[in-house]
Chains A and B, each alone.
Chain A
């Protein structure tokens, strides 16, 4: 019915740029209006340019000024960066970021894969299990981390009380007040929060691997480990890559967990770029330095975006 109308409409639009004498194709009508496409995208484009691209450029300028809150900034070149690298706190922050991100992402990947494999075989009640397992990822981290803060309380917190009752420790663990334990604590909470995302994404990847491959491997006498190394891992690689890359940028830019649990302390041992930038830019009012610190998230972002786009391109080819 639609086609019929289009053909009837042929004589009415002879000057539309369509070669005369050929039947009108839907794809011609399709391409007709570049401007329409532009208008559909315009609001999003304005938003991205005005409230993402512009602030980003503004951050670059701010980072080169000695801007205090409420006073006009003075251009100081790279002095903010020189000062940052001259101080211990920032060097700590860089090291913390690598430790926090590295350990947390490795744990989430390994545990997430294990969890996905367990879930894949659990046929009965998989929906229910999936729902329960996703909860840490669903509840906003700001709220659940408040709970963890209480769990880690050195005196009344259930973790220390429980470990003592079980006889595993005799002295209370100084969670959050000792540099090494504090780092362990923020990593544990990050893993707790991110694991469901890894597991469910990996599960989706596992389910899409054809069962025939495993059957063929079994007939050829391959064992479980061989199947995992030769079939599961290679076929899961694209999903693994995308999830790990995405998680790297989200982990390195984390704010909520560290801010709530430790405020970057004790002795700056858990500061990440975001928490240090917040302390410098808002608590101390040094906007120039704060902006400079935040910008260190950008190289991670650029590297991740580059790798992601390469993976996507390879998949579509």
Chain B
């Protein structure tokens, strides 16, 4: 192949990626544009502009922050996601370690059980779970989500962490245990530091899953001030007067920020988790 043809091929590939990049990113761009435009411009159907023409405005953001429960929902989402993630990662780390390193009667069956549970979508069980939540006296509380979110996070994280732990040489812990360390000490002091990328990945995925969850949040929580961002945005921001697209887009963007920031800093972990989950499955 001549260098010229090779270069042409290279350019061709980048050009081939462009339509897809447009498809992937345009919705976000348009959301941003809408959130910064005045209502007059948003609803002007005679002009189609891909820039802000009549001056940037933060009116939608200020409406969102002062006239809706958005700040409360944000705090609720943060509380629920952080606690559900912390609980899930601890439970999953212990379970994954136990399953990979300390075989016991039934551990193979339980591994398969974890895998099957990992495939269970939240939409399969939200109705019976809502009865369980009521029976536990947790209806309409943020605690209901902190308790139920681990049901879909733990199987996922356990599965992910099992494949990380399996790659760590046993000899590392053998030495520690021979030296008199307990299993727990071996896990915390020897294995976890080595498996830290796996734990970071699991934490990132847990947080993302909890942050974006919708159906449990809509089913278990009825009153506005207890809602999470997703349920609040979908159920309470959509009602109202005609001019709601601006605040709604501002809300969707602001709500995405924590996840996007975490992802920006930890993209390599994210990709490794995606690939591990996908190819080891």
Contacts and interface: CB of A to CB of B under 8 A. Distances in A.
B38 interface: no
Interface string A214-225: 000000000000
B98 A55 contact: no
Given A142-B234, A277-B123, A147 B279 contact: no
B28 A58 contact: no
A260 B20 contact: no
B127 A34 contact: no
6 contacts: A38-B104, A48-B151, A142-B234, A143-B233, A298-B124, A309-B112
A312 B114 CA distance: 14
Interface stretch (A13-21, A98-106, A155-163): A155-163
Contact of A47 (B91, B128, B245): B91
Contacts of B110: 41, 45
Interface string A158-187: 100110010000000000000000000000
Contacts of B213: 142
A282 B218 CA distance: 10
B133 to A, nearest CB: 10
A200 B34 CA distance: 30
Given A38-B98, A141-B212, A165-B48, A44 B114 contact: yes
Interface residues of A, number: 105
Interface stretch (B63-71, B193-201, B263-271): B263-271
Contacts of A58: 128, 131-132
A52 B176 CA distance: 36
A264 interface: no
Contact of B126 (A156, A242, A294, A298): A294
Interface in B9-64: 9-10, 13-14, 16-17, 20-21, 23-25, 27-28, 30-31, 34, 42-43, 45, 48
Contact of A158 (B30, B155, B214): B30
Interface of B: 9-10, 13-14, 16-17, 20-21, 23-25, 27-28, 30-31, 34, 42-43, 45, 48, 91-92, 94-95, 97-99, 101-105, 107, 110, 112-117, 119-121, 123-132, 147-148, 150-151, 154-155, 158, 170-171, 174-180, 183, 208, 211-215, 218-219, 229-230, 233-234, 245, 248-249, 251-253, 255-256, 259-260, 263-264, 267, 270-271, 274-275, 278-279, 281
B124 A62 contact: no
Given A29-B177, A37-B103, A162-B48, A142 B212 contact: yes
A148 B27 contact: yes
A164 to B, nearest CB: 8
A108 B99 CA distance: 34
A34 B183 CA distance: 12
Contacts of B91: 43-44, 47
Nearest to A147: B31
Contacts of A243: 278
Contacts of B281: 242, 246, 308, 312
A56 B259 contact: no
A84 interface: no
A119 B17 contact: yes
Contacts of B31: 147, 150
A273 interface: yes
A226 interface: no
A138 B48 contact: no
A309 B154 CA distance: 19
Nearest to A287: B127
Given A133-B24, A134-B263, 20 more contacts: A26-B170, A26-B178, A35-B104, A44-B92, A58-B131, A59-B125, A59-B127, A62-B127, A118-B13, A135-B24, A139-B260, A140-B256, A204-B278, A238-B279, A239-B278, A294-B126, A295-B124, A297-B123, A301-B116, A301-B120
